[in-house]
Amino acid sequence: MAPLLALDGVTKIYGRGEAAVAALAGIDLEIAAGEFVALMGPSGSGKSTCLNILGCLDVPTAGEYRFRGVAVSRLDRDQLALLRRHYLGFVFQGFNLLPRTSALENVELPLVYRGVGGRERRRRARAALAAVGLEGRERHTPAQLSGGQQQRVAIARALVTDPAVVLADEPTGNVDSARAHELMALLVGLNRERGITIVMVTHEADMAAYAGRVLTFHDGTIVGDERQAPQGAAA
């Protein structure tokens, strides 16, 4: 059975000539369905570039990215949009919520792009907010929510389409330590209970401790690939 996500000799070069920088220098990677993988490394090591390629937000300069065995480079623009829309969920450090829009409407947004009817959109958005512990906060705008609650809305928005993969870029970067651990426990629960594959960029070892696998990047290469018992695994 093909891995869910696979990179084969993937290189990403920004700039040209003497100004060229290799953000990724020919990496090989396979991620199976249901894994929780943390990408770690210093700034400029390639971890965010890797995440962006996995999320079809960027394309390799060379090498191949395969999703469920399908070469992503062979997909046209419409097919790529469908892949992102139906299989991938994104969580960003900056939340990226619409400021004058309610939590419910923010979570509904991916379903609007899918053409889902209003009643079904609201039902699914309410269920997603309940899944992240925000039942009763549906009408609150981002300004009426704490940072941790805003990130929960962002996670609910990522979940509302029932994605195969959630790609999280420093999801705890803008919240305090207590809220960060709450958010990580939430992601762990979604991974274990729903089987959602999670790939997360983080620079914090205590956040990476929640993952079952840690990939360490350095100068555009993967220098470490360790499996571990995730924090709270015995709970």
User: Which of 70-74, 116-120, 175-179, 221-225 shows the lowest per-residue confidence on average (mean pLDDT)?
Assistant: 175-179
One-letter amino acid for residue 208 of the chain: A
Name every residue whose Cβ is closer than 8 Å to that of residue 10 and which is 6 or more positions away in sequence.
Answer: 24, 26, 27, 28, 29, 50, 53, 60, 62, 63, 64, 65
Residue 79 has pLDDT above 70, yes or no: yes
| Residue whose token pair is 């100068």 | 219
Nearest to 165 by CA among 78, 107, 53, 86: 86
Question: For residue range 110-122, what is the model confidence (pLDDT) as tens digits?
Answer: 999 888 899 999 9
How many other β-carbons are positioned within 10 Å of the β-carbon of residue 211?
A: 27
Nearest to 45 by CA among 229, 189, 224, 198: 224
The pLDDT value given to residue 178:
87
Nearest to 120 by CA among 165, 85, 86, 161: 161
Residue 70 has pLDDT above 90, yes or no: yes
Question: For residue range 26-66, what is the model confidence (pLDDT) as tens digits?
Answer: 999 999 999 999 999 999 999 999 999 999 999 999 999 99
Q: What are phi and psi of 165, to 5 degrees?
A: -135, 135
User: Which of 15-24, 42-51, 156-165 shows the lowest per-residue confidence on average (mean pLDDT)?
Assistant: 15-24
Q: What are phi and psi of 31, to 5 degrees?
A: -125, 125
User: What band does 234 get if pLDDT is binned at 50, 70 and 90?
Assistant: very low
User: What band does 95 get if pLDDT is binned at 50, 70 and 90?
Assistant: confident
Mean pLDDT, residues 179-197 taken together: 91
DSSP conformational letter for 45: S
Mean pLDDT, residues 11-37 taken together: 93
Residue 235 has pLDDT above 50, yes or no: no
The pLDDT value given to residue 2:
79
Domains of the chain, residue spans? 33-60+76-227
Residue 6 has pLDDT above 50, yes or no: yes
Query: Mean pLDDT of all residues in the chain?
Result: 92
Distance CA 120, CA 228 (A): 40
Architecture of domain 33-60+76-227: 3-Layer(aba) Sandwich (3.40)
How many other β-carbons are positioned within 10 Å of the β-carbon of residue 7?
A: 23
60 versus 179: the higher-pLDDT residue is 60
